[in-house]
Amino acid sequence: MTGWVLKRRFNFAMMTGVAAAALVTSPAFAQVDPTLPAQAEDAETDIVVTGIRASLASAINEKRASDTIVDVINAQDVGKLPDQNLAEVLENVSGVQIDRAQGVGSNVSIRGSNQNLVLINGRATTPAGDARGGISFDDLPAELIASVSVTKVATADQIEGSVGGIVDLRTYRGLGLREPIASVRADMEYAENADSFNPRVSAVFGREFATGIGDIGVVLSGAYGEQTVREDVLNVRYAARTGVDLNGDGVADPYLRPNYAQQFFSTRDRRNASVSGSAEWQADSNLKLFVDGTYVNQRIVGDEAGVFIQQAADVAELAFPADRVIQSRDASGFSYNQLVSGRIGGTQFRPQNSSPLRKTQSYLAAGGAEWESGQVSIKVEASRAGSTSHDANFQLVSQFNDPASANFGNAGGRISPPFLFDITGDDLFFAPDPSSPLFANLGNRAYFQTFIGRDNANRFRNVENAQRLDLEWSADIGPIRSIQLGARLNQTDSRRRRTTQASRQFPGITAANRPDLYSIAPTDFFAFTGDQYLGGFIVPSGSLTRNPAGVRQALGLAAVPPEDLGARFRVKEESYAGYLRVNLETEVGGVGLRGNAGVRVVRTSQTASGVTLANGVASDVDVRQSYTYWLPNAILTAEPVESLLLRASYGRSLRRPDFGQLSPTVQFPLLDVYVSAGNPNLRPQTVDQYDAAVEWYFDRNSLLSVGGFYKKYQNLVTTVAVAPTLIDPARGPFDPNNCATGIFNPVSIDQSGAVGECVGINRPVNAGSATLKGLEVNFQHSFTYLPGALDGLGVIANYTYQDGERETTFTVPGFATGGVEEQFALPLRDLSKNNYNLTLFYEKYGVNARVRYTFRDPFLRVEAVDLTNNLPLYQDERSQLNASVSVDINPQFAITFSGVNLTNQPNRERAIFIDGPIGQERIADRRYAIGVRGKF
C-alpha cells in the first residue's frame, strides 16, 4: 500500500499577518482527508514555505492527493489578496460565486446553490438567524483562516446538510512547529463614499513545547476590525396602468410604469472581534488529546436615510406620449409594454430612516482524542456550537406637508411634487422635476410631519451539540486499502422571539419641534452617474438605533416593546448518522486506481413549535415529523500517465429546510404587504450528483483541469406567493372573516390608515424537481522559465458554465402581455450561467502584487418579493476588480497596499424578467488600504 506523509511548517502571510500551512506529499497517491485540519506526521523532507508559489503548490498537492473533488486555498494564498471575510476568500474557487452587501462579501453560491454547509475543522457551526448552513460567511474574518477546502462531492464520512458544497475552514495547529511563531498585522482602510477610515489588526502566536509528559502545541490567533461602508440604493416598484393608446385603436393598452420608488443612503458600521485557539498534547506515540475553539463577535449598526415616493391614490394618472412607452421582449420571447421615461405627477414624499442593528455572538468548542494501535485508529470527540443574535430595526417615517394647510397634521396636508423617471440609459433615474416650485422647501424643517414609527426586533438562539466516533482499519486486503466506519449524534435547538410595535399615525411630532430626531440627507446620492439625483432634504436621523429609548418616549411607544406571540417559534431536532466507507487502491493494466465507496444513513426527528393567534386567542401548536435517508457515494481516480488524473464520482446529499421555513407561525409585518409564513411539513431537498474531471499537473505549482457535473434535485423548496381574495368583495379587506385566500394581518396599516387587512402570503413549499449541468475549467501557472524579472509572473484563472431547469413555472401577469396570462419555466435561484475569475500575480525582489477580476452572469434572486409586487427579481451581470501589493522592507517587516471595487461598478437588479426593467440599483464604496505586517 502506498503510504503518505504530511508536513506542516508555519510562515507569515502578507495580508493576513498569520502563518501559512504547507502540505508536502511524497507519493502521487497520498491521501488527505479534506474535512480535517492538516496535522504533522513523520516526514522524509522538510520544506519551509514562503510566498505565493509555495502556497499554491501546497494547495495543488492537497487537491491532487485527495480522493474527492475538492479545491483548497492556503493562508499564503488567502493573505495575498484584500479579502475581508470567508465569502471573499471563496471567490477564488471555481464554481463559486458570491454576493455583496454594502460592498462586503456576504452570500455564497456553489454550483448554483446557496444551500451550503460551513464547518470549522470539520465540525458544524450555527447560523446568526433562522437559516441553515452554519455561521454567516461575512462573520468569519479572513485572518482566522489557515486554509479552506471546498468539497463539491461529499464522502460518506462527511456531515450531511449541503446540496451545493461543504466549506471547511481550518484554523492553526501547534504540533509540528519547529520554532515559536509571532506575527502581527495592522491596516488602515479608506472607504470612498462613506469618507471613513477603517482600522483592522490581527495577530497569531504559537509554540510547541517538549515536556516530560509529551509534546504540547499551542496556537492563539485573533483579529479586530472596525469598518464604516456606504451603499446608495434606488429602487422602483412597477405596477400596471392603462392610460396610453399604443396602437391607435382607441382603447388604452396596459403597460408597466413606476408605482413607487425608494432612495436610501445606506451605511453600515461594522465591528468584528474574533479569536481562535487550539492546544494539542501528544501524550505518547499512540495517543493525542486536543481542545480547540473559535469565538466571533459581530456588531453591525445601520443607517438607511432615504425617502419613500408614491403617487397618491386621489391623484389622476398623467397622460404620456405614446413614444415614451415601448414594447420590450424578454429573453423567453414574451412581449410587454413599459414606460421608459416620463414625468410622474402628484407624488407623496415621505422621508424615512431605517436603523437596522445586528449583534451576533458565535462560538464553537470541541475536545477529543485520537488513538492508534497497529492497523486500527480511533477518534472520539464532542463539540458544541452556538449563536445568539439580536436583529432589530427602528423605522421613523415623516411626510412633506404644507404648514399653512389646515391638514398640516394629517395625510391631507401633503405637498405632491412631480418626479422624472428614466431607464433609457444604463442607470435607473428617478429624481425631482427641477421646473416645479414644489421642491423649494425640501430642506425646511417646518414642512415635515412625523407620519409613523415602527419598532421591530428578532432574537435568535441556536445551539448544536454533536458527538462522534470514527474508526479506521488499515485492512490492506487486495484493492482495499482501509475501511472506515463511524457514528454521529446531533442535537439542534433553534428559537426565534419577536417584538413589534408601531406608533399612531401623525403623532404630532414635527422636524421643527424635535430637531434631535431629524437631520439633512446627503447631496451626493449616485454622484458617480453625473445626473442630479435627490438630496439635501429633511430626513429622520440615524440616532434611532443609538437612542431607542428616547425615540420610543417621543412617539408614545412602550419602553419595553411587546412580544409578537404569533411570530415565536422553536425547532428541535435529533439526528443519528452512521457511515461505512471503503478506501480502494490498486493497479489495472499498469494504470493506478484509487478511490472510495460508501454510504451514510441519517435518521432525523423534528418538532416545530409555535403560537397561533385566532380572534385574539393564543394557542400552542406542535408539528412533528421523522424521516430517514440513505446517502450513497462512490469516487474513482485513475492516473493513466504521470501527472494526469481522471476522476469520476457519484453522490447523494440532502439539505434540511431552514428553521424559519419550518416555522408553524406567521410573521406579520406592520405594512400592508404579503406576510411571511412557514411550512412545518417541508421535507429535505435531495440531490443526486455525477462528476467527471481531467486534471493535468504539468508543473510543480501548475494545473489545468476540466470537469463536468450533472445534478438532479428532488423536493426543491420554492417560495410561492398566494394572492389575497375576498369571500365577499362588498365587505372589504378589513373584515377579519372575509379572507378566501391569503391571511388577515391584524397589525398592518395601509396608506389610508386602516388597521388590519386581508393580505397575501409568501410560503415555502416542496415544488417538484430540477436539474443542473455545468462545466468547470481551472488554470494555474507560474512563468518561471521567462528571462530576468519576468520569471516572477503567474496566472490563476477559472471559468464555470451552469445551466439549470426546474418544474416550477412563472405566470406572466396579464398586464404585461395585453391581458392574457402566459407561463414559462423559472431558473434556479443564484444560478449564473457564466462565471469566471482571472488573477495575475508577480512575486520577486521582495515585491508581491496581485490583480483579480471577477465576473458573473445574471441570476434569479427570489421568485416572489415585495419589491416586484411579488413577482421574480433578478440580479444583473456584474464584475469587480481588486488588487494588492506588498513590499518587503526587511526580513521582519513589509508594507502592504490594496484596493477593492476599483472599477466602482453598480449592482443592478431587474424586475419580473431576467432582462426586464431595472427595479433596483446599488453602488458601494471603492476602498483602499495601507498596512504593515511584522514577524518576530
CATH number at residue 769: 2.40.170.20
Range from 92-101, 612-621, 646-655 carrying the lowest mean pLDDT:
612-621
Place of cell 458554465: 801
Whole-angstrom CA distances from 406 to 6, 350, 437, 441 are 82, 19, 21, 18
Range from 5-19, 667-681, 866-880, 909-923 carrying the lowest mean pLDDT:
5-19
For residue 916, tell me if it sits in a domain. Answer: yes
pLDDT of residue 7: 29
What counts of helices (H) and strands (E) characterise the chain?
5, 50
- Print the domain residue range for 474: 184-723+760-935
Q: State yes or no: pLDDT of 28 exceeds 50.
A: no
Note the Cα 461 to chain centre separation in Å. 19
For residue 48, tell me if it sits in a domain. Answer: no
With residue 554 as reference, give the H or E element that holds it. helix 548-555
Note the Cα 615 to chain centre separation in Å. 38
Go through 379-391 and write b for each residue having 16 or more CB atoms within 10 A of its CB, e for each that does not: bebebbbbbbbeb
For residue 93, tell me if it sits in a domain. Answer: no
Q: 703 by DSSP, 3-state: which? A: strand
Angle, CA 469 vertex, CA 466 and CA 473 arms, to 5°: 155
CA dihedral 238, 240, 242, 245 (to 10 degrees): 60
Higher pLDDT, 847 or 34: 847
Range from 79-83, 303-307, 344-348, 371-375 carrying the lowest mean pLDDT:
79-83
CA dihedral 838, 14, 364, 71 (to 10 degrees): 30
Task: Residue 366: name the closest of 16, 25, 803, 37 by CA.
Answer: 37
If phi > 0 it is left, if psi is from -120 to 50 it is alpha, else beta; for residue 288 that is: beta
Q: 858 by DSSP, 3-state: which? A: coil
Three-state SS string over 863-899 comes to EEEHHHCCEEEEECCEEEEEEEEEEECCCCEEEEEEE
**Rounded distance between C-alpha atoms, residue 345 and residue 534, angstroms:** 16
pLDDT of residue 813: 62
**Rounded distance between C-alpha atoms, residue 156 and residue 656, angstroms:** 17
Range from 99-108, 608-617, 717-726 carrying the lowest mean pLDDT:
608-617
Range from 26-40, 519-533, 694-708, 736-750 carrying the lowest mean pLDDT:
26-40
**Rounded distance between C-alpha atoms, residue 328 and residue 342, angstroms:** 17
Note the Cα 707 to chain centre separation in Å. 26
Whole-angstrom CA distances from 666 to 68, 394, 613, 673, 744 are 42, 20, 9, 13, 11
Q: What is the mean pLDDT of the chain?
A: 84
Residues in CB range of 415: below 8 A, 6 or more apart:
349, 400, 401, 402, 438, 441, 447
Q: How do beta strands 117-120 and 166-170 pair?
A: parallel
pLDDT tens-digit map of 378-396: 999 999 999 999 999 999 9
**Rounded distance between C-alpha atoms, residue 72 and residue 232, angstroms:** 35
Question: By the 8 A CB rule, do 332 and 817 touch?
Answer: no
Name the DSSP letter for residue 905: P
Question: By the 8 A CB rule, do 234 and 263 touch?
Answer: yes
With residue 543 as reference, give the H or E element that holds it. helix 543-546
pLDDT band at 81 (very low <50, low <70, confident <90, very high): low
- Per 3-state DSSP, the chain is made up of helix, strand and coil in percentages (nearest 5) of 10, 60, 35
pLDDT tens-digit map of 304-361: 999 988 876 544 455 555 567 676 666 666 677 788 888 887 788 999 998 899 999 9
Residues in CB range of 143: below 8 A, 6 or more apart:
16, 17, 18, 185, 202, 221, 222, 223, 274
Q: How do beta strands 761-766 and 675-677 pair?
A: parallel
What percentage of the chain exceeds 90 in pLDDT? 46
For residue 207, tell me if it sits in a domain. Answer: yes
What total number of domains does the chain contain? 1
| 121 backbone dihedrals φ, ψ, rounded to 5° | 55, 40
For residue 912, tell me if it sits in a domain. Answer: yes
Q: 808 by DSSP, 3-state: which? A: coil
Grid coordinates belonging to 532: 442630479
pLDDT tens-digit map of 602-645: 999 999 998 876 655 667 889 999 999 999 999 999 999 989 99
Q: State yes or no: pLDDT of 820 exceeds 80.
A: no
If phi > 0 it is left, if psi is from -120 to 50 it is alpha, else beta; for residue 531 that is: beta
Which of 327-341, 688-702, 852-866 reaches the highest mean pLDDT? 688-702
Question: By the 8 A CB rule, do 179 and 912 touch?
Answer: no
Burial of 87 (0-12, 13-18, 19+ CB in 10 A): buried
Name the DSSP letter for residue 136: -
Beta strands in 27-151 (DSSP E): 70-74, 96-101, 104-110, 117-120, 123-124, 147-151
For residue 558, tell me if it sits in a domain. Answer: yes
Q: How do beta strands 325-329 and 335-339 pair?
A: antiparallel
pLDDT of residue 401: 94
Residues in CB range of 330: below 8 A, 6 or more apart:
336, 913, 914, 915, 916
For residue 790, tell me if it sits in a domain. Answer: yes
Range from 42-46, 488-492, 509-513, 548-552 carrying the lowest mean pLDDT:
42-46
**Bridge partners, residue 538, by sequence:** 520
The mean pLDDT value for 433-460 works out to 92
Q: Where are the alpha helices (DSSP H) in 431-504?
A: none
Burial of 211 (0-12, 13-18, 19+ CB in 10 A): exposed
For residue 155, tell me if it sits in a domain. Answer: no
